[in-house]
Amino acid sequence: MHGIDRFAHGAKRLTFAAATVFVALGFFVTLKALVQNEQGIASGLLELGRSAPERLALFGMAAAALVGTGVFLFRLRSSVRFVVGLFCFALAIRLIWVASVPTTPVSDFEFMFNMAVKAARGDFSFTEAPYYVRWTYQLPFTLYEALVIKLFGAHPLPLKVLNAFWQSALAGIVYALGRALFGDRAGRAAGLVYALYPSTISTVSVLTNQHPADFFFYLAFCFFLCDLRLRERPRAIATGLALALGELFRPYGPLVLPVIAFFGLFRAAFVWLSSERSASEKRFWPALRKAVIPLETTAWVLIVFWLVTSAAGLALNAAGVTPYSLKSHDPYWKFVVGLNPASSGQYAEEDLRRFADLPTLQAQLEVEKALVLKRLLDVDALLPLFWRKFCILWGSPDATFWWNHGVHRPALEAALKAAERAAFLFVTASAFVGLVLGMRRQDGRGPWPDGRMLLLWIVLGYAAVHLVIEIQVRYRYFALPTLSILAGAGLVTVTRALRRAGEPSARRGGSCGETGYAGKTHPEQSVKER
């Protein structure tokens, strides 16, 4: 085995091991909080069972109906019918939620909605407000809301309906990625897990930029990793365009782009060092051309991303909407909040008041920078802070009912919180199985750095970054599609093992098959993974 092969094998195993530890810790902190009733979920369910048993039974029947429909869709023979059915199923659930749980925007969402109403009327004076001067990157999402308001009126309902479409389409993308990385059945399970995950349903009522941003970023991953019968350059251009559109809604780019760039370099190095080449031109130049392909693809992704985001900013400048570039002009604020031990890295009025009397943004930046350095150097407080933040971000119940202002339904809130925490336990346990299997089985791809590594690097980097920046429970939603994909792989593996265990030994087939781990066994399930 070449040295690069050993290195690539080691990198793959290290990636899977780190991801396994991550999901295991997520499972542990969630289970610990539930057992100790830290969040009052168990007592809330007990109270609901005593005071309104008929409602609890109704929620149980609804859950059973949803799972039954999911099983029916999973068994459809045609992949096209499954995708259409998955989208319609996910959309119907979310539209029912929107119609039956009316909400009003709150906090930043209310502010941006009100500014979008102004923009729809042609008034862009709000762009000089401190909020948009500091965080100008929020402007494209506000203008997106303004366009919807211009077309359908100044009401949150059309935006919620669009959120339902973004989330339902994302379920289809989760299926496509799961199919490419682990096989068709695993992809189907992943799409259904994501479509039925409670938070992805309830948050469509929240006017957050996460909905379109998550859709476009995962669409980019789909272009980059799946075989969509596109040549390298069109595939790279489509990836860069999708990443840029996602970035305009929510700036995940500073995390995602370096990972994609490193992934491209890693692939190029692997191709170059593992190829047979000698001093003769016959072998040298073909090897070099093969190694350049991943670099060229990555370069096109980054170039298109830069061109589109830059053009969007220049267009808004030229139109007189804002004189500022589309970025955060207060880059230290997220770190100020995230490194505050007193608030466990969550938003705190104390930090806001600390800078209220400073005359200029530049003066505030200087004080913020000094405060961030001071908090980083306080090592004794740093490690306990990291653990508390991890427990909050990955172990706390969904905060939908806080963001869904105007809704007072204690029974629904208790049931939803319990369902979401149970779903998270289920997803992390299934993902753990998928990751352990991914470490233990060599699936025919050898040491080649495949798409599973890219998604895991992004999610692990996302979790690591949130150890030092501000956290909110809803920030974990970005990782849910990847966790659903891993859960789909684990679920199909477990069900296949259980089915095989119940068969007579003479009827048992080979050890490979439907999970996609050990190769493609059916032409309809064959999806070339890039």
pLDDT tens-digit map of 484-501: 999 998 988 888 877 777
Residue 511 lies in a domain: no
Sequence-separated (6 or more) residues with CB below 8 Å from residue 53:
none
| Long-range contacts, 340-347 (Cβ 8 Å, 24+) | 340/375, 341/375, 341/378, 341/381, 341/384, 341/385, 344/385, 344/388, 344/389, 344/392, 345/385, 345/388, 345/389, 345/392, 345/469, 345/470, 345/471, 346/392, 346/470, 346/471, 346/472, 347/470, 347/472
Q: How many CA atoms lie within 13 A of 519 on its CB side?
A: 6
The per-residue pLDDT for 276 is: 56
50 in a structural domain: yes
pLDDT in tens, 178-199: 998 888 999 999 999 999 998 8
In a domain? residue 380: yes
What is the structure's pLDDT at 100? 84
Q: For residue 199, give the 3-state DSSP assignment.
A: helix
Q: What is the pLDDT of residues 364-377, one digit of tens each?
A: 888 889 989 999 99
Task: Determine the pLDDT at residue 339.
Answer: 92
Cα distance between residue 194 and residue 173, in whole Å? 10
Distance, in Å, from the CA atom of 60 to the CA atom of 505, rounded to the nearest integer, reads: 38
- Residues 63-69: contacts with CB within 8 Å, 24+ apart? 63/419, 66/93, 66/196, 67/196
Q: Write down the number of H helices and E strands in the chain.
A: 22, 0
Residue 505 counted as domain residue: no
Q: Which residues are within 8 A (CB) of 374 and not within 5 positions of it... i.e. 6 or more apart?
A: none
What pLDDT is stored for residue 510 in this prediction?
42
Phi, psi of 468, deg, nearest 5: -115, -15
What's the pLDDT at 462?
94
Within 8 A by CB and 6+ apart from 402, the residues are: 106
Helix-, strand-, coil-residue percentages of the chain, each rounded to 5? 75, 0, 25
Q: At 451, which helix (H) or strand (E)? A: helix 451-465
421 pLDDT higher than 50: yes
Residue 480 within any structural domain of the chain: yes
The total domain count for the chain is: 1
The 10s digit of each residue's pLDDT in 137-155 is 999 999 999 999 999 988 8
- DSSP helix/strand/coil, 230: coil
Structure-token match 């019968």, residue found = 229
The per-residue pLDDT for 437 is 75
Going by pLDDT thresholds of 50, 70 and 90, the confidence category of residue 519 is: very low
Q: What confidence tier does 390 reach under pLDDT thresholds 50, 70, 90?
A: very high
Contact (Cβ atoms closer than 8 angstroms) between residue 274 and residue 350: no
Q: How far, in Å, CA of 45 to CA of 52, rounded?
A: 10
**Mean pLDDT on 91-95:** 94
Please classify residue 66 by burial: count the beta carbons closer than 10 Å to its beta carbon, then call 0-12 exposed, 13-18 middle and 19+ buried: middle
How far is it, in rounded angstroms, from Cα 484 to Cα 453? 15
pLDDT recorded at residue 50: 60
Minimum mean pLDDT range among 166-175, 298-307, 337-346: 337-346
Model pTM above 0.85: yes
Residue 504 falls inside a structural domain: no
Residue 38 has pLDDT above 80, yes or no: no
Q: Does 485 map to a domain?
A: yes
| Domain-embedded: residue 508 | no
Q: Which domain holds residue 217?
A: 1-498
Residues 217-223 have a mean pLDDT of 94
Average per-residue pLDDT in the chain? 82
Residue 315 has φ and ψ, to the nearest 5°, of -65, -40
Report the amino acid identity of residue 11: A
Q: What angle do CA 185, 298, 233 make, to 5 degrees?
A: 80
Question: Which of 158, 185, 171, 1 has the alpha carbon at shortest distance from 76?
Answer: 185
